[in-house]
């Protein structure tokens, strides 16, 4: 409810225009050529305008199209998951893209909070602690600018949630999607891999794997002890 209120306040501030969230600048966006009316301010604008452009056409080799120039196509398309989800959710309709950009991020932050609440319960904390990520400046401020961080944080948290549930296939899928939402997530991928490795440093040496061998060794030791009394091993037992 709080996040919805913040989104509503920004929507009203932008004169009820969902494209206001993209923070488009006239250096890269020409409102005369965009397929829908886009709120454009003077200057370079912000990264949300590039997600808006990719949400119109996710897989594109054109630097300039739909009235928006992408400053670094190869770099921007590394973060393809967010605009791709928006494009699919909006059914490829340009007029629905601006609202969908905001809606996807809002759902992402909501799922982030729910996942953190469950994780908090698993470590013995009150589930209410899970609401804290919603107040971090990162997801909240990016939500107001059509950026990929809210969805990225959601996917990364879902990956951790899957790891704690031993659903490593889903964890790998969520981590891959998070990395394609924002490339810096690869640092987190390495951290999760190391954490899992240290938690299970040598999976092949786990006790359960050697229980049959241990049982056989114990039986042999008992049989050997019967055949050879303890005095054969401990001199103090000979007296």
Tens-place pLDDT, residues 79-128: 999 999 999 999 999 999 999 999 999 999 999 989 999 988 888 888 88
- Does 61 or 224 have the greater pLDDT score? 61
Interval 25-51 mean pLDDT: 94
pLDDT at 14: 85
- The pLDDT tens digits for 182-223 are 888 778 767 766 766 666 544 443 444 434 434 444 444 434
Phi, psi of 147 (to 5 degrees): -105, 170
Q: What whole-number percentage of the chain has pLDDT above 70?
A: 78
End-to-end CA distance of the chain: 82
Distance CA(52)–CA(220), nearest Å, equals 71
* 3-class secondary-structure state, position 66: coil
pLDDT at 234 over 50: no
Express each pLDDT in 137-193 by its tens digit: 766 778 888 999 999 999 999 998 888 888 888 988 998 999 999 888 778 767 766
Q: How far apart are CA 89 and CA 103, in angstroms?
A: 10
pLDDT for position 124: 84
């Amino acid at each position: 409810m709080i996040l919805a209120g913040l989104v509503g306040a920004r929507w009203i501030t932008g004169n009820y225009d969902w494209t206001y969230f993209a923070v488009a600048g006239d250096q890269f966006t020409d409102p005369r050529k965009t397929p829908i009316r886009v709120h454009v301010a003077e200057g370079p604008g912000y990264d949300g305008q590039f997600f808006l452009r990719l949400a119109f056409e996710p897989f594109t080799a054109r630097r300039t199209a739909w009235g928006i120039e992408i400053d670094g196509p190869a770099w921007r398309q590394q973060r393809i998951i967010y605009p791709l989800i928006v494009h699919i959710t909006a059914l490829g309709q340009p007029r629905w893209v601006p609202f969908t950009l905001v809606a996807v991020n809002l759902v992402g932050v909501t799922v982030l909070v729910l996942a953190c609440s469950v994780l908090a319960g698993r470590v013995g904390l009150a589930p209410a602690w899970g609401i804290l990520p919603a107040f971090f400046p990162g997801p909240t401020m990016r939500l107001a600018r059509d950026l990929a961080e809210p969805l990225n944080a959601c996917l990364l948290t879902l990956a951790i949630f899957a790891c704690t549930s031993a659903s490593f296939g889903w964890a790998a899928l969520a981590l891959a999607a998070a990395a394609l939402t924002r490339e810096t997530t690869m640092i987190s991928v390495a951290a999760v891999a190391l954490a899992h490795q240290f938690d299970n440093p040598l999976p092949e040496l786990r006790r359960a794997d050697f229980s049959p061998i241990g049982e056989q060794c114990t039986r042999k030791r008992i049989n050997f002890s019967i055949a050879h009394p303890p005095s054969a091993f401990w001199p103090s037992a000979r007296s």
